[in-house]
Amino acid sequence: MIQKTSLTATRRTVIKAAGAAAFVAAMPSVLRAQDGPIHLGALNPLTGAGGSYGPSMRKAIEHGVALINANGGLLGRQVELSGEDTQTNPDAAVRAARKLIDADKVVAVMGTWASSVTTAVAPVCWESKVFLTCVSGSDTITLLPHHGYLVRTQPNSTLQMEKLAEFLGKDLGAKRVFILGAQTPFAKPNEERLTADLPKYGSELVGALVYDKDKTSFRSEVDIALKAEPDMIYMNGYAPDVTVVIKDLFKSGYDKGRVAQAYAMNQKVLDNLPAEVANGIYTIAPSPAVGSSAYKDLSDFLGTADIDPYSCQTNDHIALVALAIEKAGEASGDAIRENIRAISQNAAGEKVENVVEGLKALRAGKEINYSGASGPCDFTDIGDILDTNFRYEIVEAGKFKTLRVG
């Protein structure tokens, strides 16, 4: 039985797997008394700018917990998940993180979205020796003094901008690129990377303008951008503000290239725009490992063949945290920190593609190399994902058409 409260007010959820009571009753009394359930935390954007993704991200984590509990839990103990809503707001996220850590006693916090949110939450986690997994991309995040209590499955700004520059210059032949971007932690790093990378492909950054994302119109910013005579405008923000930028660009008569990150330009955005307004916009996004068993399982659970990258990543977050705990024989932030790479980038280990396979292998005394729904989970010393595939798409008649993956 899954016990879950409504996602209202604090957006708190608590999950226990089917058959948990029977499982506990069958355990020796000494083991039943050993610390009770293992507490993990989910901290996702159920509302705010990330609200299009947060509920699915949460469901992906919940599904992982249910699978773990249905297969014996961790270290002979059930896993209990406590969840909170970041509201895509740093202040709200810090309050929620404090609750997860201080009241719910979690050893890991999983799934923060938006670089400003992760930047605010990270110190709360490392100061408490709680492990943090995130899907935020700003280069500044892993440069924080997190002492190893953080990894991210989202490519950092450097990798994302390298791929974007190649796509714009090499694939699309853009020569003059202008950035219209929201005030975020990744605004400046993205500008710096594109300035350096675009010339490799015969292109250049001809200007950049950072705006207040809460404005209701960006027509003055659009007019400034158009004076630079760009043939490609990179809309570097979130869905609410990028939607307004798209409308203002259309009203201005601009008819050249537009590109955005897929998290800012998704099907929900398209459904709320006239087809002629969005037609021809390009998007770029990390590509999940669609051929993996973890992706197939999550696809069946969520009821869609096209899972967003963040839900795939959070599904891997719960797998990584769980397998690190099982490998360590201990449920703590320190244990996760010391073992997460041992189960995810061990070339000599048996390749496993989902958490159930991983748990079975570890219990059989095997070394493992986990690669899940989002792909390989190999991290640098500071916690950056090493590499991933990207998907490039174009909007045609109100729908996305994939151009290539690679």
CATH assignment of the domain containing 303: 3.40.50.2300
pLDDT at res. 69: 98
* Bridging pattern class, strands 14-15 and 79-85: antiparallel
* Domain-embedded: residue 333: yes
**What average pLDDT does this structure show over 209-216?**
94
Residue 133, strand partner residues: 110, 151
* Domain-embedded: residue 89: yes
Runs of H (alpha helix) within 8-109: 20-26, 29-32, 54-70, 90-98
* Domain-embedded: residue 376: no
Q: How confident is the model at residue 162 (pLDDT cuts 50, 70, 90)?
A: very high
> Which residue spans within 159-203 are E strands per DSSP?
176-182
Using the predicted structure, report yes or no on whether residue 26 has a pLDDT greater than 60: no
Using the predicted structure, report yes or no on whether residue 66 has a pLDDT greater than 80: yes
Q: How confident is the model at residue 165 (pLDDT cuts 50, 70, 90)?
A: very high
CA dihedral 389, 394, 400, 405 (to 10 degrees): -20
Residue 379 is given by DSSP the state B
* Bridging pattern class, strands 150-152 and 131-134: parallel
Average pLDDT of the chain is 92
pLDDT tens for residues 109-141?
999 999 999 999 999 999 999 999 999 999 999
Residue 261 is given by DSSP the state E
pLDDT at res. 3: 35
* Rounded Cα gap, residues 152 and 161, in angstroms: 17
Using the predicted structure, report yes or no on whether residue 338 has a pLDDT greater than 50: yes
pLDDT at res. 34: 55
* Bridging pattern class, strands 14-15 and 204-211: unpaired
* Domain-embedded: residue 232: no
* Domain-embedded: residue 381: no
Backbone region of residue 178 per phi and psi (left: phi > 0; alpha: psi in -120 to 50; beta: other values): beta
Give the side-chain half-sphere CA count within 13 A for 75.
22
Range of the domain at 47: 36-156+291-370
pLDDT at res. 31: 39
233 near 257, Cβ under 8 Å? yes
pLDDT at res. 347: 93
* Domain-embedded: residue 392: no
Using the predicted structure, report yes or no on whether residue 24 has a pLDDT greater than 60: no
How many structural domains is the chain composed of?
1
* Amino acid identity at 26: A
* Domain-embedded: residue 20: no
pLDDT at res. 226: 98
66, 135, 155, 269, 324 from 335: Cα distances, Å: 22, 21, 24, 41, 7
* Domain-embedded: residue 258: no
